[in-house]
Amino acid sequence: MSWPELNNFERREFSRPDIMQEDFLLALDELRDRCGFPLVITSDGRNQQDMDRIYSGVPRENHPNSPHKRGRAVDVQPVPNTPAKRIILLHHITGMYIDGTLPRLGLEVATRHIHFDNDDVLTRPWLWVGKSR
Ligand SMILES: [Zn+2]
């Protein structure tokens, strides 16, 4: 895909930029604008090899049908990764769900990161808690 013009992120900040979907990248960029503090991307698009590494020991048929594979999810950490910044980040993600920017929101509050997606395949909206791998 052609890389969109983003205010806050460079292509090289992504492990799998070619997997990422343009509309999702624009939403991520908008989220960063609203937060006003840096966001570190700890996981973005994933191919099957990435999934096998992340879920090593889990049989492939039990790997999640992850929106990361569709380029419609990121795992992020605010900088600094404090409870206060995480609360503000969650505020802006949920605000983008309420205002229709992320209508298909999947939101995970994990131990060290926040996952969000805007997926058109899985049941959405969805909210869960998780353990960072
Ligand atoms: Zn994730």
C-alpha 57 – ligand 1 centre gap (Å): 18
Residue whose pair of structure tokens reads 């900040």 in the numeric block: 13
Residue 104 CA to ligand 1 centre (angstroms): 15
In the chain, where are the structural domains located? 11-130
CA of 54 relative to ligand 1 center, distance in Å = 11
The amino acid at residue 90 is L
- Check residue 133 and give its pLDDT: 81
Beta-sheet pairing, 114-118 with 105-110: antiparallel
- CA nearest to 126, candidates 65, 77, 60: 65
Task: Tell me, in angstroms, the distance from the centre of ligand 1 to residue 74's CA.
Answer: 5
Across-strand partners of 76? 41, 114
- pLDDT per position as a tens digit, 7-31: 999 999 999 999 999 999 999 999 9
What's this model's pTM, rounded to 2 decimal places?
A: 0.95
What are 25-78's pLDDT values in tens digits?
999 999 999 999 999 999 999 999 999 999 999 998 888 999 999 999 999 999
Q: Which CATH number fits domain 11-130: 3.30.1380.10, 3.30.420.40, 3.40.50.720, 3.90.660.10?
A: 3.30.1380.10
Q: What is the pLDDT of residues 94-111, one digit of tens each?
A: 999 999 999 999 999 999
Helix and strand totals (H; E) in the chain? 3, 5
**pLDDT at residue 1 greater than cutoff 70:** no
Residue 127 has pLDDT above 90, yes or no: yes
Tokens standing for 19?
A: 């997997």
Position 96, amino acid? M
Give the Cα separation of 85 and 91 in Å (integer).
Answer: 10
Sequence-ordered list of residues with C-beta below 8 angstroms from that of 96, at least 6 positions apart, any chain? 27, 30, 31, 34, 102, 105
Question: Ligand 1 centre from 5 Cα, in Å?
Answer: 23
Q: Ligand 1 (ion): which residues have CB within 5 A?
A: 75, 115
Quick one: pLDDT band at residue 85, thresholds 50, 70, 90?
Answer: very high
Query: CA–CA separation, 111 vs 97, rounded Å?
Result: 22
Backbone dihedral angles phi then psi of residue 87, each to the nearest 5 degrees: -65, -45
Question: How many angstroms separate the alpha carbon of residue 2 from the centre of ligand 1?
Answer: 23
pLDDT at 2 over 80: no
